[in-house]
Structure 1
Amino acid sequence: MGRLAEGRLVPVLTVVLAIVVIWYGFSVLLNTPWQQGVYARADQAGVGLFQYLADVYSQQRPVLPAPHQVAVEFWNSVVNANPATPRSLIFHAWITISATGLGFLFGTVLGIVLAVLIVHNRAVDRSLMPWVIASQTIPILAIAPMIVVVLNSVGLTGLIPKALISTYLSFFPVVVGMVKGFRSPDALQLDLMRTYNASGAQVFWKLRWPSAIPYLFTSMKVGVAASLVGAIVGELPTGAAGGLGSRLLAGSYYGQTTQIWAALLMAAALSAGLIMLIGAVQVLTQRAMGARA
C-alpha cells in the first residue's frame, strides 16, 4: 500500500473522487429550483431528504446532470447503441477523429517545416515568428465559420474545412516546440560539427533533429488535443450530420444536457487516448534511438 500511495494511482483517484463529490453537490444546488417548482405545482410538501435527492438525481433534463446520469447516457450511447447509427457516440467519434487525424497531420508537418525555416533563416525568424504568435490571438470561434463559408464557396466541404481548422490550432505548439528543439544543441556541439567539416544537412540530421525529437513528441501531445478541439469547433457552424460537435449542438437545441455531457466525456476520452498513443510512439522511438528505459 505504501508503494501504491507513492505512485500515481492514489493521487489521481483522490482528485477524481473530490471532483465527483463536488459535482454531486453542485448538481443538487443547480437542480433544486426546478425540483421545488415541481413540488409546488403538485402541491407536495414534507418530502424527505432521501426522496428529495432521488428526485433531483432523476430529472429528465437537469441543468447539471449527476455523474451517474452521464455514465448511464454514455453507456447507452456507446455500448447499447448501434455504432453505425447517429444514436451512437462511436459513430460521431469516428467522424470527429477522422478530421482530427488529418488536421493533426497537416499541422505537424506545417509546424516542422516552419520551424526549419525559422531556425535556418534569420530573416524568416524575424518576419514569420511574430505572425505565427499573432495568429493564435484570433478566437477560433470567430474564424471557424469564415473558413467553412469560404471553403464551401469553392466547393470544399465535409472533412477538409474541419481538418484545416484543426491544422490552425495544432501547428502552433509544434512550431514553438521544434524551434526550441532545433536550437537546443549548445555551441560546443555545433563547433564540433564544424570541426568535422559537416555540411548544413549533416548538422541538421545528425545533431539538430535528434536533439529536437523529445520536443517534437511533447509538442505533438499538446497539438493533438488542440486538433481535437478544432475538429469539434469546426463541426458547429457546418450543421454536419455527424461528429461530436453536431452531437453537442443537437443536445443544446433540445435541452438534452446528459447527451451534451456524454459527448464531452467521449471527447475527453478520445483526447486522452490520442495523447497516450503519442506517448507510446515516443517510448518506442526513444528506445530505437538508444535511450535507456
Structure 2
Amino acid sequence: MTPEAAPLPSVPRRRPAEPGWLLPVASVVLAILVAWTLAALLANWSGAADALVRAGEAPEAGRIAAATMALERPVVPAPHQVIAEVWRGVFGFPITSKRSLVYHAWVTLSATMLGFAIGSVLGIALAVAIVHLRSVEASLMPWIVASQTVPILAVAPIVIVALGAAGFTGLLPKAVIAAYLCFFPVTVGMVKGLSAPDAIHRDLMRTYSASKPQILARLRWPASLPYLFASLKIAVAANLVGTIVAELPTGAQAGLGARLLAGSYYGQTIQIWAALVAAAVLSALLVRAVGLAETATLRASGGPLATGGRR
C-alpha cells in the first residue's frame, strides 16, 4: 500500500495591487488649474479689453485672452502668475529677508505651533475632567460649545488689547487666539475617545481594584488615540487659520497674515494669492506631520494603523 502523498503547502494568494495615488491627485490638480484659469479669464476680461483700447490696439478676442493672463494687478491672477510669485518669494530672497515667503511662513508657523501646544493640552485636560466629573460636564460643556459661536474676528482684537495691556505682546497673543480655535475639536474628540471603552471593560478594571488614573492610563487613553489624532488634524489646520487672523488686527510686519494685509493695502492681488497658496501648503504639511505622528504612535502602541488597520 503506497502512502498517501503529503498535501502541498498552501501558497497565500497575492493581494491585488492597489491603484496608484498619482493619477487621481494629478486629475484633481488639473481640474483645479483649468477652473482657476477660466475664472481668471472671465474676471479679467473687461479690464484687459479696456487696457487694449487705451493702448490703441484692437480688442480682439485672442489679444484680450492673452492680456488677461498678464495683467499686473488682475482681479483673479492666473495660475502661472501665482506660481511665479511663490517661486520668487521662496527662492528669490534670503530666508532672513522680509520679502521672503519662507521668513513669513516661519513667523506664522512659530505662533501656530505654540498655539497648537496650548490648545491641545487644554483640550485634553478638559476632556479628562468632563469624562470623570459629571459636574464639570454639566457646567463647562455648554460654555465650550458656546465659545465657538463667537466669530474669531471679534475675539482677536479683544485678546490682543487685553494681553497687550498686561504686557504680553509678540508671539503669545497670536498663539492664544490660535489655541481658541484649536482646543474645541480636541476636547470633543477626546471626550468621545475616552468614553469609547465599553462599560464591561471599565467594570473589569474595577474588579481588579484599578484606580481612576490606572483606568485612564491603561484603558481609556489607548482607546482614545485614534480619536485624538483625528481631532489634532482638524485642530492644527484651524490653528493656522487662527494665527493668520490674529496677525491682521495687530498690523504685524511679519507673517503670512502680514503679507495678506500688505497686499490688500497696495492692491497686489498676486501677492495675496501667493500668501494664500503658501498658507495652504503649510497647512497640508502640518496635517501630514500629525498623520505621520499618528502612524508612528499607533505602530509603537500595537494599535491599528491609520491606513485602515493594515499592518
| Cα separation, 2, equivalents of 1:270 and 1:184 | 32
Q: Hey, what does 1:147 align to over in structure 2?
A: 159
**Kindly tell me: are residues 34 and 3 of structure 1, through their superposed partners in 2, closer, same or farther at Cα, counting changes over 3 Å?**
farther
Cα offset, 1:3, TM superposition: 5.3
RMSD, matched Cα:
1.4
Q: Secondary structure at the match of 1:291?
A: coil
Partner of 2:307 in structure 1? Answer: none
In structure 1, C-alpha distance between the alignment counterparts of 2:174 and 2:59, rounded to whole Å: 53
- CA-to-partner distance for each residue in 1:146-165, whole Å, 9 max, x for gaps? 11111111211100100000
Q: How many residues align?
A: 290
2:224 is equivalent to residue 232 of structure 1: no
Who is 1:29 aligned against?
A: 42
How far has the Cα of 1:7 moved from its partner? 3.5
Tell whether 2:187 aligns with 1:168: no
> Would the alpha carbon gap of residues 180 and 222 (structure 1) be closer, same or farther in structure 2, given more than 3 Å must change?
same
SS at match of 2:49: helix
Q: Which has the higher contact order (CA 8 A, sep 6+)?
A: 1
| Percent identity of equivalent pairs | 55
Q: Which amino acid aligns with 1:12?
A: V
| 1:186 and 2:167 correspond | no
Residue type at the aligned position of 1:275: V
Q: Which runs of 4+ in 1 moved over 6 A?
A: none
State the alpha-carbon separation in 2 of the partners of residues 184 and 48 from structure 1: 62
Deviation larger for 264-273 or 191-200? 191-200
Query: 1:11 is matched with which residue?
Result: 24
Distance 2:217 2:287 in 1: 26
User: Per the alignment, do residues 71 and 3 of structure 1 end up closer, same or farther by CA in structure 2, a change over 3 Å counting?
Assistant: farther
Q: Is contact 2:189–2:227 with CA below 8 Å preserved after alignment? A: yes
Corresponding position: 1:202 with 2:188: no
Instruction: Measure the CA separation in 2 of the matches of 1:7 and 1:190.
Output: 42
- 2:33 corresponds to 1:20: yes
Letter in 2 for 1:122: R
Q: CA deviation at 1:183?
A: 0.2
Matched, 1:257 2:263: no
Larger radius of gyration: 2
Cα deviation, 1:240-268, whole Å, max 9, x if unaligned, reads 11000000000011111111111011101
Which secondary structure state, in structure 2, belongs to the residue aligned with residue 64 of structure 1?
A: coil
Range 264-273 or range 194-203, more displaced: 194-203
2:63 is equivalent to residue 56 of structure 1: no
* Residue 127 of structure 2 is aligned to residue 115 of structure 1: yes
The residue type paired with residue 117 of structure 2 is L
Distance in 1 (alpha carbons) for counterparts of 2:211 and 2:33: 58
Instruction: Give the aligned partner of residue 277 of structure 1.
Output: 289
Given the superposition, is the C-alpha separation of residues 60 and 3 from structure 1 closer, same or farther in structure 2, using an over 3 Å criterion? farther
TM superposition score normalised by structure 1: 0.96
Residues 95, 103 of structure 2: 8 Å contact kept: yes
What is the deviation of 1:44?
Answer: 2.0
Aligned match of 2:4: none
In the TM superposition, what is the alpha-carbon distance from 1:17 to its structure 2 partner?
1.0
Post-superposition CA distance 1:62-112 (Å, at most 9, x none): 000011100000000001111111100001001000000000000000000
Match of 1:103?
A: 115
Q: CA deviation at 1:42?
A: 2.5
Give the Cα–Cα distance (whole angstroms) in 2 for the partners of residues 268 and 56 of structure 1.
25
Give the superposition deviation at 1:46: 5.1
Ranges in structure 2 where 5+ consecutive residues have no aligned partner: 1-15, 305-310
Offset from partner CA, 1:38-70 (integer Å, 9 cap, x none): 122223215351x33221101100000011100
| Structure 1 portions without partners, runs of 5+ | none
Counterpart amino acid of 1:22? A
Cα deviations by residue, 1:206-234 (Å, 9 ceiling, x for unpaired): 10011111111111111111110111000
Question: SS of 2:202's equivalent?
Answer: helix
Change beyond 3 A, Cα 1:154–1:20: same
2:262 match: secondary structure = helix
**Partners of 1:257 and 1:68 in 2: CA distance:** 13
CA contact under 8 A between 2:181 and 2:235: conserved in structure 1?
A: yes
